[in-house]
């Protein structure tokens, strides 16, 4: 697994800390170097801090990823700026997100790296709803993007924006205006994609552990959600690579006009 990195020293160190013997890294510091190396060598993953690039540079780099064989992992401290940049990239390519300062557990970054092959469920869902996320007000956009890039997930919809706490009706109104069915449906969808990625990445394949880590009350609740939202039990998802086809019912469930 070859990982090309354009990010801070902190991110590079975090990646190195979770790397096994099968992972090698290279680092670039400029957009010109990044594009040249991407086009001249084969890579498994591009780990990129999207805030280091201007919007047009980010769009062009993401567009390269759409035609290439490498996966895109966006790594940055959580902020409105990094959330906005992540949405820009996700509109041009399938991209997963890891917010480096929200969850300090190295296992989460290792999970993200493993889930990228070939694409993560979180990344495919984000790509599918990026237009709707991009239409949200800045505070709401940041809160929704945090769901994709950090654990723990909120237990309830009211916790999506907790400081200052935003009324449920405001959350639903803003999300509905952007094209989502509701805050509850979106939170359910993000939670089940986290579970899918975790199931695929777990060496032990412990469904109970995945359920707890992703905020489900029990393995049975996870089973109910995966059957209802993805038409597959957790044991099958653990052996299923995420794809646009498998994810289609979930996207249709989340977006107002996805089934039209």
Q: Give pLDDT tens digits for 189-200.
A: 999 999 999 999
- Tell me what the pLDDT averaged over the chain comes to: 91
Q: Are 237 and 201 in contact (CB under 8 A)?
A: no
Angle between helices 244-254 and 121-134 (to 10 degrees): 40
pLDDT at 260: 40
pLDDT at 167: 82
Take residue 54 and report the two structure tokens written for it. 């201007």
- The confidence band for 259, taking pLDDT boundaries of 50, 70 and 90, is very low
46 three-state secondary structure: strand
- pTM of the full structure: 0.94
Rounded distance between C-alpha atoms, residue 50 and residue 73, angstroms: 10
Take residue 47 and report the two structure tokens written for it. 């780990």
Q: What percent of the chain has pLDDT over 90?
A: 70
Supply the DSSP symbol for 215: T
- Res 30 pLDDT > 90: yes
Take residue 93 and report the two structure tokens written for it. 């390519």
Provide long-range contacts, Cβ within 8 A and 24+ apart, for 161-169.
Answer: 166/140
Cα distances from 89 to residues 66, 97, 195, 253, in angstroms, run 10, 10, 23, 23
- The pair phi, psi for residue 96, each rounded to 5°, is -95, 165
- What mean pLDDT comes out for the span 89-103? 89
End-to-end CA distance of the chain: 40
């Amino acid at each position: 697994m070859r990982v090309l990195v354009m990010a801070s020293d902190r991110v590079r160190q975090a990646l190195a800390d979770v790397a096994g013997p099968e992972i090698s890294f290279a680092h670039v510091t400029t957009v010109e170097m990044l594009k040249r190396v991407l086009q001249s060598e084969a890579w498994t993953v591009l780990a990129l801090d999207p805030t280091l690039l201007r919007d047009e540079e980010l769009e062009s780099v993401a567009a390269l990823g759409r035609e290439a064989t490498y996966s895109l992992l966006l790594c940055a401290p959580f902020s409105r700026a990094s959330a906005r940049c992540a949405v820009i990239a996700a509109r041009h390519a399938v991209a997963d997100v890891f917010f480096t300062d929200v969850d300090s557990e190295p296992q989460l970054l290792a999970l993200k790296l493993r889930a990228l092959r070939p694409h993560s469920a979180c990344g495919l869902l984000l790509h599918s709803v990026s237009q709707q996320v991009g239409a949200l007000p800045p505070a709401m956009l940041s809160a929704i993007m945090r769901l994709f890039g950090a654990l723990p997930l909120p237990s309830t919809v009211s916790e999506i924006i907790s400081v200052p706490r935003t009324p449920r009706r405001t959350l639903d109104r803003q999300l509905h205006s952007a094209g989502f069915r509701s805050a509850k449906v979106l939170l359910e969808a993000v939670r089940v994609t986290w579970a899918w990625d975790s199931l695929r990445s777990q060496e032990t394949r412990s469904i109970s552990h995945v359920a707890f880590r992703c905020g489900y009350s029990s393995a049975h609740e996870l089973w109910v959600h995966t059957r209802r939202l993805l038409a597959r039990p957790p044991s099958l998802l653990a052996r299923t690579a995420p794809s646009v086809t498998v994810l289609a019912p979930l996207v249709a469930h989340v977006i107002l006009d996805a089934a039209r």
